[in-house]
Chain A
Amino acid sequence: MVGEKSGGWGRAALLDNPRVRGILYQVGLCVAVAFAAVAVWRNVADNLARNHITSGFGFLDQIAGFDISQTLIDYSVQTSTYGRAFWVGLLNTLLIAVLGIVLATILGFVIGIARLSRNWLLANVARAYVEFVRNIPLLLQLLFWYNAVLKALPDIRESIPIAGIALLNNRGLFLPQPSFGPGLAWAALAGVAALAIAFVWRFIAQRRFERTGHPLPVLVPGVILVIGALILTYAAVGGTIEFAFPQLGRFNVSGGVEILPEFVALLFGLVIYTAAFIAEVVRAGLLSVPRGQSEAAAALGLRRGQILNLIIIPQAKRVMIPPLTNQYLNLTKNSSLAVAIGYPDFVQIFTGTVLNQTGQAVEVVLITLAVYLALSFATSAAMGWYGARVAFVSR
């Protein structure tokens, strides 16, 4: 009997056991992946050796020797290293991503709310905007803004003066550059103190609101407080502001701050494109709040603006955060299209110029991937934290 039974549990039965099969499949998969990885690794080593390309990250300490048109930190052609160029590019990407996210969110909310407006014309103009912008590739829009709009501006000799203080031409927008005297540190200190006071005030207002239900203004007094503290302290310690106005030369503009047309085109393109998607997210979020909520609010006598701000948006936020996070990630990733119009972002500087100069494709691409994964992760984490904060608290 026993012998017969164990005969029945033969090899076929063992293979029919889901757990055994699962383990076999996984071992097979891991072996295949490991085999492929080793093969790739050996090919890479062979190919690099054949082409006499060094490996390792030592190149980051070498002198870069190329110029960058927009640098937020000190950078010079003669002395700065590839490592420095890395940071310059990363900061340029962050600048465009942060500005783009803020502006696209504002524009997207305006258009998303406009799409639900009772004003027929407004709703349809917003709808046409969304349909039009969403269905045209971002790269095409960027090229249009850069080549057909900004590069078509008059050249330097025929610069367009704006209000007598700024100049606009096909090399960019030239704004007056403020320069501050000593005492800026004191003003900054006062600003930080004012900010702290504003946060304490916010806490007090929140407590009072929860106890009595009476809201206290927070944002406007806070902003006035901080700006007032900055200006008053600076004036009190005798600080001065001087503006260096852009001067039109024969071949060049001297003085002033230059905003590159590449920067403007990229920012415009990203904001306009992403705002169309954010508008759809906002619309879906607002529609997800049950009608009864706005009807109840209207029955309580709230005005339309109040209904939107106090009832609808706080509830819609929870629905909107995950898709909004996706759009922020898309915007950050799309900023890499800067390459097309020559804005010195991370990809243009690092994955473009540095890779071409050093030929160290593996290291450069790995660093690029790591940077974007880190940016994506940081954005997701920040939005996750915010999402948890506004999440529905069940009591």
Chain B
Amino acid sequence: MSSTGETRTFGIGITEDDIFVQSQRLPVLPAPVATTGPIGWLRANLFSSPLNSVLTLVILGLLILVIPSVIRFLFIDAVWSGTDRDACLGGPNGEVGACWAFVRERLPYFIYGSYPIPQRWRVDLFFVMLAFGAGWLLWLDAPRRGLGAIYFFIIMPICAYVLLNGWPLIGLPSVDTSLWGGVLVTVVVTTVGMVASLPFGILLALGRRSSMPAVRILSIMFIEFVRGVPLITVLFMASVMLPLFVPPAWSPDKLLRALVGIALFSSAYMAEVVRAGLLAVPRGQYEAARALGLRFWRMQGLIVLPQALRITIPNIVNSFIALFKDTTLVFFVGIFDLLKTIEVARVDPKWATPVTSATGYAFAAVFYFVFCFLMTRYADRIEYRLARAERR
């Protein structure tokens, strides 16, 4: 309280000598390490530790090594126009990129195969019908989706068959399936796989959960048998054994055999996807349906399946993606899908250059990637939407 003379007292017996008072200004500390802004982001996400810094640099090095050369091959050095292989043999300094001229010239073959040129409008019409039906079903808030399902699963397949195969009676000359090829076949095989796999998959899934032992055992045997063997053997079986199974007069044509194989295969996989959805429907739903006096099919059709299929839409789309990629395997039973037409075209002497194969494969890769990627995104969106509905 009192400050008499030099010595200040701070209480009982404590003098200024006993405590330390900072009397000089300390040097200003550097600003703290940035945690925001571009520098902060770099530090947190790319250089957070010595190991991470090394990894970042190594990956950057690899990317710098790979990406420019890929871009140079696909775009900068690429040949965009030309009429035969001479265009793609490369310049004087040997720099040669993708031969897009080859893809451009062969594009009709890649899309239609050997389908007669005057009849190709039928294929185009089929693509439009398919896109319309697919759009109707994929757009979840579309009006009259029930009608869309009828269109996609019943009306469209019949129309498509008449349109593509021909019906001379109404003026559409018939086109032998051995002439079909390219994207057309890829799309036909995928669509048949999808259209067949849903109903058969649902039946098999219900069969697998049936209380009737004979139905259950037959379903399990079929599903596990088909899932246990490679698609290639299913296709071989369909193509060499199916003609043996029926009287010679009925012997199915090559494409039909492959379609049967694909349909069997995709049904078995779809059955497991649907079963997972059925397992997710709470027991109470079954019990309530029974209590209302619904019989088996009405219970399944009105109560259980709508919920089960809804939950499992993302998985259904994923198995369609797998099916779309698997259709390339019809290659092995002598059917000209997109990949096979590319295989045929790339060894054609007219276009044989060192870069023709790589170009053809790049084209196929882009085609498959775009479609699969879009379907993946779609499945993700549905999953998000379902999750949001659950959170509510």
A interface residues, Cβ below 8 angstroms from B: 22, 25-26, 29-30, 33, 40, 43-44, 46-48, 50, 117-122, 125, 131-132, 134-140, 143-144, 147-148, 151-152, 333-334, 336-337, 339-340, 347, 351, 355, 361-362, 365, 368-369, 372-373, 376-377
Contact = CB atoms under 8 A, between A and B. Distances in A.
Contacts of A140: 328, 339, 361, 364-365, 368
A131 B60 CA distance: 19
A136 B369 contact: yes
Given A125-B59, A137-B326, A120 B246 contact: no
Contacts of B346: 147
B48 A119 contact: yes
A122 B241 contact: no
Contact of B331 (A139, A152, A333): A139
Nearest to A152: B354
Interface in B341-365: 343, 346, 354, 357-358, 361, 364-365
Interface in B221-247: 225, 227-233, 236-237, 240-241, 243-247
B244 A25 contact: no
A337 B343 CA distance: 15
A138 B230 contact: no
Nearest to A119: B52
B230 A347 contact: yes
The 9 closest A-B pairs by CB, nearest first: A135-B372, A120-B45, A26-B214, A333-B230, A137-B325, A376-B228, A361-B240, A336-B230, A372-B229
Given A336-B233, A362-B244, A365-B240, A139 B369 contact: no
Contacts of B212: 22, 25-26
B55 interface: yes
* B contacts with A: majority SS: helix
B329 to A, nearest CB: 6
Contacts of B55: 117, 119, 121-122
A368 B45 CA distance: 51
B339 A372 contact: no
B376 interface: yes
B248 interface: yes
Contact of B46 (A30, A119, A377): A119
A131 B361 contact: no
Given A25-B215, A373-B228, A361 B361 contact: no
Interface string B247-270: 110000000000000000000000
Interface residues of B, number: 55
Contacts of A43: 244-247
B384 interface: no
A48 B240 CA distance: 12
Contacts of B2: none
B154 interface: no
A368 B231 CA distance: 12
Contacts of A117: 52, 55
27 contacts: A29-B218, A47-B243, A50-B248, A118-B52, A119-B48, A121-B55, A122-B59, A135-B321, A136-B325, A136-B369, A138-B325, A139-B329, A139-B331, A140-B368, A144-B361, A147-B361, A151-B357, A152-B358, A336-B230, A336-B233, A337-B232, A347-B236, A355-B240, A361-B244, A365-B233, A365-B237, A369-B233
B218 A47 contact: no
Contact of A131 (B214, B229, B373): B373
Contacts of B373: 131, 135
A369 B229 contact: yes
B56 interface: yes
B63 interface: yes
A340 B332 contact: yes
B3 interface: no
A136 B331 CA distance: 16
Nearest to A146: B357
B228 A372 contact: yes
A339 B232 contact: yes
B7 interface: no
B339 A333 contact: no
Nearest to A28: B214
Interface string B30-68: 000000000000001110100010011001100100000
A26 B215 contact: yes
B214 A137 contact: no
Contacts of A122: 52, 55-56, 59
A240 B346 CA distance: 50
A287 to B, nearest CB: 15
A25 B215 CA distance: 9
B82 interface: no
Given A43-B244, A136-B372, A140-B339, 10 more contacts: A26-B212, A29-B214, A118-B44, A118-B52, A119-B56, A137-B368, A144-B361, A333-B229, A361-B240, A369-B229
B215 A148 contact: no
A377 B229 CA distance: 11
B93 interface: no
Contacts of A137: 325-326, 328, 339, 368
Most interface-central of A120, A131, A139, A368 (chain B CB within 10 A)? A139
Nearest to A338: B232
B155 to A, nearest CB: 29
A148 B357 contact: yes
Given A119-B46, A119-B48, A148-B358, A347 B232 contact: yes
Given A119-B52, A121-B60, A365-B240, A33 B229 contact: no
A362 B46 CA distance: 60
B213 interface: yes
Contacts of A369: 225, 229, 233, 237
